[in-house]
Amino acid sequence: MRFFLALFFIFAPLSASATQWLKFDEKTFLVAPPSDARYLTSNQAVLVGQKCAAIIDAHGDFSALERFASEVKKRIPQPICHLFSTSSDEEQILGMMLLANEFPDATWYATSHVSQHFNEYQSALKDKLSRFEKSLQLSQSRLETHSNAQMQQRLNKAKARIDKWQSRQFSPPTLLDAAQVTLDLGGHFVVVEEIEGATLGGLSILSHHNLGLFAGLTANPIPYVQDSDLGAWLATIKKLRQSEKVTWLLPAQGKPYKLRALQKPISFLEAAINSDSMVMPEALLAMYKSDEITQTRLKLMYDLAKTKQAQKMQKQRTVL
């Protein structure tokens, strides 16, 4: 039965535990992945007004996203009018493409980078669904010699999901009319701003109701450095740290935190940019929790950041 394991991990959620819905206040729901998937998928949020509601962020676990959409429809009586992607991360955008189909009347906002490269995201989604289909076909062919009614039923459900995803049409997101726009959900105003951060383009969403800022990967306590401009990212969060309009933030991974705790990623990026040593400064290590998981992840992310920064500097010297 080993050949069913790959299929299980593709079509089952990344965690057997339930997604956690946390009611922050009467107008704000924070949706966190199970603790055993907290670094595999992203936090989400639902902001509610009298007129309509908005969903912030998605992730690459398609099965979990389908259940999330179903839960939104059960819990939120207001129609979904806006969808926001805080980053241009591929898995987050592919997930939001699916959510945009679940809520076709909503306006999806993302950074200009996503719109400019939307064909590439469509190709990535096609490739992902093709991998799903090939795994399904392999499992189906092997099942023919291993009769199993329960597994056949699961394969049929998986095929129906793939067929549904492949049949959908996907449209690019809407661009902001200005660098910063204010949207009214009905007594709940949100300010949406395009920022430079963890990915090539990003958005931040500020709730006027509770002064919470939703910035996804850009606000992660332990930065995950991809092809990021660390200097621009650092400038963004330094500016946020001085804001009088923000009191707390929700990152893509981890719990919400107070504005002053933004000093952690600030110090992390400063060390990644300015330190001549590949060894993480002891003062930075001391800023984070001392448990093994946190410290291991911190060191891995710092090594990645230093490597990416060294590669960037090498390219610059080559050009010169």
Q: What is the pLDDT of residues 65-80, one digit of tens each?
A: 999 999 999 999 999 9
Contacts of 130-134 spanning 24+ positions with Cβ under 8 A: 131/10, 132/10, 132/11, 132/158, 132/162, 133/162, 133/166
Among 46, 83, 69, residue whose Cα is nearest residue 188: 46
User: CA-to-CA distance for 209 and 189, rounded, in angstroms?
Assistant: 7
Can you tell me the distance from the alpha carbon of 80 to that of 51, in angstroms, rounded to the nearest whole number?
Answer: 9
Q: Find out whether 169 and 185 touch, Cβ atoms under 8 Å.
A: no
Which positions of the chain have pLDDT values less than 70?
A: 1-17, 143-147, 319-320
CA distance 1 to 146: 9
Helices 62-75 and 90-102, axial angle in degrees (round to 10)? 40
pLDDT of the residue at 2: 38
Q: What is the pLDDT of residues 233-286, one digit of tens each?
A: 999 999 999 999 999 999 999 999 999 999 999 999 999 999 988 899 999 999
User: Exposed, middle or buried, 251 (CB in 10 Å: 0-12/13-18/19+)?
Assistant: buried
CATH code, residues 3-117+171-261: 3.60.15.10
Q: What is residue 298's predicted lDDT score, i.e. its pLDDT?
A: 95
Residue 144 is given by DSSP the state T
The confidence score (pLDDT) of residue 145 equals 63
pLDDT of residue 1: 39
Q: What is the residue whose two structure tokens read 């679940």? A: 102
pLDDT given at position 210: 97
> Can you give the pLDDT at residue 146?
65
pTM listed for this prediction: 0.90
C-alpha radius of gyration, the chain, whole number: 21
Helix (H) or strand (E) holding 275: none
Long-range contacts of 233-240 (CB under 8 A, 24+ apart): 233/196, 233/197, 233/198, 233/269, 234/266, 234/269, 234/270, 234/273, 235/196, 236/195, 236/196, 236/197, 237/197, 237/262, 237/265, 237/266, 237/269, 238/266, 240/204, 240/213, 240/215
The letter for the amino acid at 147 is S
- Confirm if 44 and 57 have CB atoms less than 8 A apart: yes
The full set of domain ranges for the chain reads: 3-117+171-261, 267-319
Whole-number pLDDT of residue 290: 93
